[in-house]
Structure 1
Amino acid sequence: MAPTSKDPNPPSGWWYNTRTGEVEHGALSRSIDRLGPYPDEATARRALEIARERTSAADRADADWSEDD
């Protein structure tokens, strides 16, 4: 897949494409379809797991905050 930008210094990092389920090095696809950047390929492969963990943590924090009212 060709880069979407003609930037001579594109951002580096690894991305997880939510549309294709593939890991990409550099910003190759539309930003709306990407999670990241991640520091390495292995971490990018865990993107959905990481997102679930972060969502669960945020949900717990919201519940704790609501209980304080």
Structure 2
Amino acid sequence: MSIDKVRDVVGLYLGPPERALVLCVDEKSQIQALDHSRPVLPMMPGVPEQHSHDYIRLGPVS
């Protein structure tokens, strides 16, 4: 990222345009969509909900 671009972005936070809402959003492209390999076992009296320890990768989230 260039110095000029950094100044533009920081400038939005320090002096936003009048009546503007400034948000920061990170895409987080490294997050993987995962799913458990077996269904979740429901809670029973005295036993918590149980998940399988392994998972299936469904690709990146974007």
Q: Which bin holds the TM-score, normalised by the shorter protein?
A: under 0.3
Higher helix share: 1
Structure with greater contact order relative to length (CA < 8 Å, sep ≥ 6): 2
User: What is the TM-score when the length of structure 1 is the normalising length?
Assistant: 0.22
